[in-house]
Amino acid sequence: MTTEQLVAQIHKKKSFLCIGLDVDLTKIPKHLLETEDPIFEFNKAIIDATHHLCVAYKPNIAFYEAYGIDGWKSLKKTIDYLNKNHPEIFTIADAKRGDIGNTSSMYAKAFFEDLAFDSVTIAPYMGKDSVEPFLAFPNKHTILLALTSNQGAFDFQTKKLENQELYKQVIETSKTYENSENLMYVVGATKASYFKEIRKIIPNSFLLVPGVGAQGGSLQEVCKYGLSSNIGLLINSSRGIIYASNAKDFAEVAAQKATDLKNEMQEFL
Amino acid sequence: MTTEQLVAQIHKKKSFLCIGLDVDLTKIPKHLLETEDPIFEFNKAIIDATHHLCVAYKPNIAFYEAYGIDGWKSLKKTIDYLNKNHPEIFTIADAKRGDIGNTSSMYAKAFFEDLAFDSVTIAPYMGKDSVEPFLAFPNKHTILLALTSNQGAFDFQTKKLENQELYKQVIETSKTYENSENLMYVVGATKASYFKEIRKIIPNSFLLVPGVGAQGGSLQEVCKYGLSSNIGLLINSSRGIIYASNAKDFAEVAAQKATDLKNEMQEFL
């Protein structure tokens, strides 16, 4: 998917909501556990109830790997369902991968070809040759971890690397990578004041923003400093939407929560 | 596996060799492609031919994910084969994972419980709460990326973070994490001169060392600066061993290459 298609979808739906599909079998409604593939059935119900409210879905791959081969099958069914029924929706494999060149190529093949995601999240620690193999895929997007939403972000990311914070160095340096036009960035909503600084370096790049809601970030603040001329934001909510209810009406309640967030977004569009 | 058991195995076998099981279907002998599970058959042949020469095996997970569900099945068969037939051998899931707390717990479950690896490699960028969920597993080891062997390592790792190189900060900071006794570190052999500095910070921790052979690192140099009183080194070779031949005798040739490296190691033990 091209960035233009993503932006067109945002304007059409009046939403830049991304829904995280982080399925934990201990948290989903009990009646689904009797089905053959509870993870997929849960995702399908959430997708059916919310696809008109969001522009992106983001399965966090850890939640699938934790269930081994069965989890991997559920992931494949989920992305296939999305690509078949909602090809206009942007898909994000939240995998946080990154390895030396030839190995990163294998990960890129896994997520862009075998699973056919539009994008994948990548950790920058190993530098240029760990990122460029992902960037080589046309119309696929590489979402680099810049400033994450967790407490551990302060261990290294906000410290100064040769007089500039590491996360800024990551963003600056990544702009020199080949095919850097395929880059997006993860920037946690819990650090809204940093958005202003980040927009000085990358005025137009799309930012995937976790941490609104459950982790305490403010949509208002993020939009104030983070919106760009082409919107440039994907606001992710996972637990706040998909686990809003664990009764039989979970999908409708999820849709209600997604609607609330979407409505909040409208005033910024 | 405890560190003591690993050290005992090193002394018994007179080897601290780790063999990387990075299976690429385009590189393995053609006759294996006719079998039902070529990846597993290749690994089994390599393991059968080399298990007395090495103390660890390290499948790089990217090479399995690239083949989707089939790849994941081959990985499961490989680790099950190792755990059943060679429980004394240290197993490393080279996965380079790391995510916010509850998500890292899912990855830890995947690699330590579902797949029953002894250890997993972890990227440090997201800090404390992305690493500690792995450290919470007793007798399991978390191998933190410190200084990697690729060119991209110079993008950030060797730059100064508040007057100390990032990789040193990563090592220093990780010592304050809960259960830090379960930490090992990835340190690339291509930067042997750094080992001296690293040993000042962590005199005894085990270091997993990629980059000997194919990537140009010197075993001699690594041992000179990296050996500790309990050895403290696992030298990895992947391509240099497993792809030394792609004819029917590939496993014997692999064993010969492993023997050569093992013999080089003996003089340091």
**Mean residue pLDDT across chain B:** 92
Which residues on adjacent β-strands are paired with residue B217? B212
Q: Do residue A166 and residue B148 have CB atoms under 8 angstroms apart?
A: no
Helix H or strand E segment including A156: helix A153-156
For residues B248-255, average pLDDT: 93
pLDDT digits (tens, 9 = 90+) for A119-168: 999 999 999 999 999 999 999 999 999 998 888 888 998 888 888 899 99
At A85, phi and psi to the nearest 5?
-95, -25
pLDDT digits (tens, 9 = 90+) for B165-182: 999 999 999 999 999 999
Q: Do residue B114 and residue A159 have CB atoms under 8 angstroms apart?
A: no
Q: Do residue A127 and residue B62 have CB atoms under 8 angstroms apart?
A: no
Percent of chain B with pLDDT over 90: 79
Chain B residue with Cα closest to A104: B62
Window 118-157 of A: residues touching B by CB (8 A cutoff) are 123-131, 145, 148-157
pLDDT given for residue B214 in this prediction: 66
pLDDT band at A111 (very low <50, low <70, confident <90, very high): very high
Strand order in the sheet with A160-161: A164-165, A160-161, B160-161, B164-165
**Tokens 């990629």 sit at which residue?**
B210
B151, A127 Cβ separation under 8 angstroms:
yes
Nearest to A157 by CA among B128, B13, B57: B128
Which residues on adjacent β-strands are paired with residue B20? B58
Question: Is B238 part of the contact surface with chain A (CB cutoff 8 Å)?
Answer: no
- Residue from A44, A76, A77, A96 carrying the catalytic annotation: A96
pLDDT at B83 over 90: yes
Go through B25-38 and write b for each residue having 16 or more CB atoms within 10 A of its CB, e for each that does not. Answer: eeebbeebeeeeeb
Residue A191 to residue A183: CA distance in whole angstroms: 21
pLDDT given for residue A214 in this prediction: 66
Domain ranges, residue B160:
3-266
For residues A78-95, average pLDDT: 97
pLDDT at B96 over 80: yes
Nearest to B160 among A99, A123, A162 (CB): A162
β-pairing, B141-147 with B160-161?
A: unpaired
Higher pLDDT among residues A163 and B119, named by residue: B119
Our count of domains for chain B comes to: 1
Q: Do residue B161 and residue A160 have CB atoms under 8 angstroms apart?
A: yes
C-alpha to C-alpha distances, B101 to A152, B2, B108, nearest whole angstrom: 9, 25, 10
Nearest to B124 by CA among B110, B109, B104, B106: B104
Question: Is A164 part of the contact surface with chain B (CB cutoff 8 Å)?
Answer: no
Percent of chain A with pLDDT over 70: 99
pLDDT given for residue B168 in this prediction: 93
Chain B residue with Cα closest to A176: B155
Percent of chain B with pLDDT over 70: 99
Q: At what angle do helices B128-135 and B101-108 cross, to 10 degrees?
A: 30
**Mean residue pLDDT across chain A:** 92
- Residue from B96, B109, B140, B257 carrying the catalytic annotation: B96
Which CATH number do you get for residue A257?
Answer: 3.20.20.70
Contacts A–B by Cβ distance under 8 A: 181
Higher pLDDT among residues A150 and A184, named by residue: A184
pLDDT at B262 over 80: yes
Is B96 an annotated catalytic residue?
A: yes
pLDDT digits (tens, 9 = 90+) for A56-80: 999 999 999 999 999 999 999 999 9
Q: Which of B74, B155, B238 to mutate to test the interface with A (most CBs of A within 10 A)?
A: B155
Residues of A in contact with B75 (CB under 8 A): none
Residues of A in contact with B106 (CB under 8 A): 24, 60, 62-63, 65-66
Which residues on adjacent β-strands are paired with residue A160? A165
Go through B209-229 and write b for each residue having 16 or more CB atoms within 10 A of its CB, e for each that does not. Answer: bbbbbebebebebbbeebbee
Window 239-268 of A: residues touching B by CB (8 A cutoff) are none
Kindly report the number of other CB atoms within 10 A of residue B170's CB atom: 24
Please state the ipTM of this predicted complex.
Answer: 0.89
Residues of B in contact with A60 (CB under 8 A): 99, 103, 106
Nearest to A212 by CA among A258, A146, A171: A258
Higher pLDDT among residues B160 and A255, named by residue: A255
